[in-house]
A and B are shown apart, each in its own frame.
Chain A
């Protein structure tokens, strides 16, 4: 159908891409829930874990993934580990969303201009409307 579209199934995730790390972190519903919990302010790991049936270890893993993706900031307060949302972290995601339209419009440009060439070289139909 579209020559401009790349193979959708191809393309292994780029480990070094910060946007990719963010997307992987967001892919898990528990991790999205954690982000919603800390949206209102900093929370200790134990408080976060209390919202889940999962083991503390599992929650701790999720927290690490989120921290590594830069979605959460982490600090120690005595024995407690405190986590807060890092609002800057969604920037790579927003940048990517803002690529939807530019890349689509580039394809539009390509398609229209190809079609224009076809029209001028082999006018098959009366394409012009009154």
Chain B
């Protein structure tokens, strides 16, 4: 049980990739859909900081190719098991007619590592419970 997991998620948005892309790099736009606070420096190696429900997600931008692809690392500050930068989120925007298909891949999740499950995910899960209610 040491295989890293990839989570995928997708959504279709009635807007062009150029209209959707800023929501992944502009902190004011980012917090409209995820988190309460964001500090983003959208350049390779630039800071990716996002707080949601007291969970300080920290990482850095890896690749920024407007308007079709953005990659940033993702971890939780203070969590040894899911440290900042330990997982990678890749977002791919593909134009389809007048829509954009957003595909999200969350790479390197420590799904096979129980310690990581237990220690690292608990805070995120707390947030998820609230999202579901």
**Chain A residues packing against B (C-beta within 8 Å):** 1-2, 4, 6, 8, 10-11, 13-14, 19-20, 23, 26-27, 32, 35-36, 39, 85, 87, 90, 93-94, 96-113, 115-116, 128-129
Contact = CB atoms under 8 A, between A and B. Distances in A.
B9 to A, nearest CB: 4
Say what secondary structure dominates the interface of chain A: helix
Contacts of B115: 36
A73 B127 CA distance: 28
A13 B125 CA distance: 13
Interface residues of B, number: 42
B51 to A, nearest CB: 13
A97 B13 contact: no
A110 B133 CA distance: 18
B15 A112 contact: yes
B1 A107 contact: no
B126 to A, nearest CB: 7
A40 to B, nearest CB: 10
